[in-house]
Amino acid sequence: MHSITTRIPYKTLVRALFFAQSRNLCSASATTQKLERIADELLNLTKLERYDYSILFRLKLGLNKYGPAVSGLASADSASTGSGSAPADAKAAEKTAFDIKLEKFDAAAKIKIIKEVRTFTDLGLKEAKDLVEKAPVVLKKGVTKEEGNPIVEKLKELGATVVLE
């Protein structure tokens, strides 16, 4: 014998049960048209949209531990809201890690430059010599501006052309 639930579509059954329980728990005045519309829209979402919604809802509540949703729904929202704040993001994303690049050096100061390169890198004499001779080459990556400026100044004093990129 078939039960009544096999004849009623799933979404209709869920809606009926949800609103029957909500009317029993809450007063009739508290259940508004807006809440019913939101519930209907949530029930009409696909699985992917429900997943994206759950991620977005957690994000809005400050409970985000999985990162933003990956689907087109969330990325379209972030693209539309993010387009107006692009200049502000560029200022906020100021470069903090720099590379020290040796562009060229004076041949007479080659030995002094190799010795200086050895002081701020963990290279041996042969490795430092090979590195300096490959100019233009990046001597050190990911240094802060405060760390890089004294090194650049010292190498410039020795006769090298060095830039902080």
Instruction: Spell out the per-residue pLDDT of the chain, length 165, in tens.
Output: 454 545 556 666 566 666 655 555 555 555 678 888 888 888 898 988 888 888 888 888 777 555 554 554 444 444 444 444 455 555 546 777 888 888 988 888 899 989 988 988 888 899 889 888 887 888 888 888 888 889 889 989 988 888 888
* Class (C level, CATH) for 98-164: alpha beta
Q: Do residues 139 and 103 touch, judged by C-beta distance below 8 A? A: no
| Torsion of the alpha carbons at 19, 25, 30 and 35, rounded to the nearest 10 | -30
The pTM for the full model equals: 0.43
Q: Do residues 147 and 119 touch, judged by C-beta distance below 8 A? A: no
Looking at the chain, which residues constitute the CATH 3.30.1390.10 domain(s)? Answer: 98-164
